[in-house]
Amino acid sequence: MKRTMSREWILGLALTTAMVPIVSADLTTTISSTTNWGTWEGFGVSLAWWAKAFGTRTDLADIFFSTKSTTYNGQSIPGLGLTIARYNAGACSWNTVNGSAMVVSPDIIASRQMDSYWIDWSSTSPSSSSWSWSVDANQRNMLSLAKARGANIFELFSNSPPWWMCLNHNPSGSNDGSSNNLQSWNYDQHAVYLATIAEYAAQNWGISFQSVEAFNEPSSDWWNGETGTQEGCHFNSSTQATVIGYLRSELNSRGLSSTLVSASDENTYDLAVSTWNSLGSTATSNVGRINVHGYQYTGGRRDTLYSLASGAGKRLWNSEYGESDATGEELVTNLMLDFRWLHPTAWVYWQAIDGSGWGLIDGDNDNVSLGAVSQKYFALSQFTRHIRPGMRILDGGSNYTVAAYDSTAHKLVIVAANWGTAQYLNFDLSKFSTPGVSGALVPRWITQTGSGDQYVSYNDTYISGTKFWSYFPTGAVQSFEVSNVVL
């Protein structure tokens, strides 16, 4: 549901609320001091496909990977400070192999064809002519720009094995979308491909991948080479299990035994549950981290997937999230549900730049043209600029409140949203042994999903006893930083 609100109405509201005596709140949430939903690893973004188009743009690198302000289209944009980048190992090459060329879907979108480093099967040696390390320069450039700005967690991921390993030589998928498309004699070769890139990146790019993911939404049945618009490949769970074993071995044999195998990047929470339950104990023991995509939005059993992950001693990432709601409302809603029910230790947006509402900045990766910064960008910044790596994730007490604690700085961060009528939200800190200092300033930042404020900061909110409160217009998301808090 999209909301529209006129600027006049917002101004009127601001004038009215200034005259309202602050007496009590309409909704109260109590922040827990005892939960530990994990140590935050960071927020991130996948580099394919936008970095193939815009990988040389240092201003965009500043906007996404630093927290400084950057002038863009005449506007000062506060950086998101993302610290995770997912690098896509491509599946396309335009050479012939044994006289065969890549088969291309008639519907392919050119900006989504990512270059493969391995171009034929004749040698596994990265120094042989079977490997072309000069391709994909733009995505690689954005990877190093990200690192130079402080990104420190990198994942290597694949949407499809290189085309010449595929049964129909089409890196968009099988001809029916639901059949495995990796040739059975290439199960190990797909692992060799990814492990070789990881080793090469460590030796030549200064990039140490924390994890390698061999699949992308592998149980889904839409990876159809005859209609596909992007790279993709179906793997059933037994094939996934086989490839996971090979990937673990190939990483180990290259001295990368501490590089995690992540899996399986299923499209939904519920698919991730069923895949995990069918991989088998050998494969799950080789998975170092569970990755799931957030395309079930408000649906699905986040809690079940978390139980499985924590029971197995695995960390959990929402490794891909996106939608076309440029207002930011869906993003904030679903991200908050992730914090409260999925408990990921990282959260990765899909396309920083894209059209039709998907991008954080509107743009066209085919025409390499850029548009406006989306309201969704500012909504996301309410989280990424305040919930920082190393913080402990607490229970914010509701589906509309997220809390994180910096034990070194003794700082409590709260991000909250109001989907109801304009009202006060009241934050109860009485569970903390030191709930800040009564009378102390609580700086706040506000974005109004839809339209209105874009990460505007205010110094007008103070602790009163063990509480503080703030006025939220409908659709507002606010971040608060409370100092001198002790669990």
Ligand X SMILES: *[C@@H]1O[C@H](CO)[C@@H](O)[C@H](O)[C@H]1NC(C)=O
Among 24, 34, 76, 98, interactor with ligand X by CB under 6 A: 98
Does the active-site annotation cover 217? yes
Which CB sits closer to ligand X, 153 or 271? 271
What's the CA gap between 89 and 70, in Å, rounded? Answer: 30
Which CB sits closer to ligand X, 44 or 359? 359
CB of 122 to ligand X, least distance (A): 9
Select the span of 86-94, 131-139, 233-241, 344-352 touching ligand X (CB under 6 A).
233-241
CB of 364 to ligand X, least distance (A): 5
Select the span of 41-49, 257-265, 361-369, 473-481 touching ligand X (CB under 6 A).
361-369
User: With binding defined as CB under 6 A, does residue 75 bind ligand X?
Assistant: no
Which CB sits closer to ligand X, 33 or 240? 240
On the 0-12 / 13-18 / 19+ scale of CB atoms within 10 A, 234 is: buried
Q: Which of 217, 231, 266, 329 is catalytic?
A: 217
User: With binding defined as CB under 6 A, does residue 367 bind ligand X?
Assistant: yes
Size of the site for ligand X (CB under 6 A): 16
CB of 401 to ligand X, least distance (A): 11
What's the CA gap between 243 and 278, in Å, rounded? Answer: 14
Among 130, 236, 252, 304, interactor with ligand X by CB under 6 A: 236
User: With binding defined as CB under 6 A, does residue 238 bind ligand X?
Assistant: yes
The closest alpha carbon to 238, from 209, 293, 280, belongs to 280
Bridge partners (DSSP) of residue 131 are: 118
CB of 441 to ligand X, least distance (A): 7
User: With binding defined as CB under 6 A, does residue 364 bind ligand X?
Assistant: yes
Among 101, 285, 366, 438, interactor with ligand X by CB under 6 A: 366
Which CB sits closer to ligand X, 339 or 424? 339
User: With binding defined as CB under 6 A, does residue 270 bind ligand X?
Assistant: no
Site string for ligand X, 391-430 (x = CB under 6 A): --------x-------------------------------
Does the active-site annotation cover 481? no
- Other Cβ atoms less than 10 A from the Cβ of 487: the count is 17
Quote the distance between the C-alpha of residue 375 and its chain's center.
Answer: 17
Among 150, 208, 443, 487, interactor with ligand X by CB under 6 A: 443
User: With binding defined as CB under 6 A, does residue 341 bind ligand X?
Assistant: yes
Among 13, 39, 70, 121, interactor with ligand X by CB under 6 A: 121
Which CB sits closer to ligand X, 140 or 234? 234
User: With binding defined as CB under 6 A, does residue 95 bind ligand X?
Assistant: no
CB of 207 to ligand X, least distance (A): 30
Residues of the shown chain interacting with ligand X in the complex, contacts defined by CB under 6 A: 98, 121, 180, 236, 238-239, 337, 341, 364, 366-367, 399, 443, 457-459
Any idea which residues carry the catalytic annotation? 217, 320
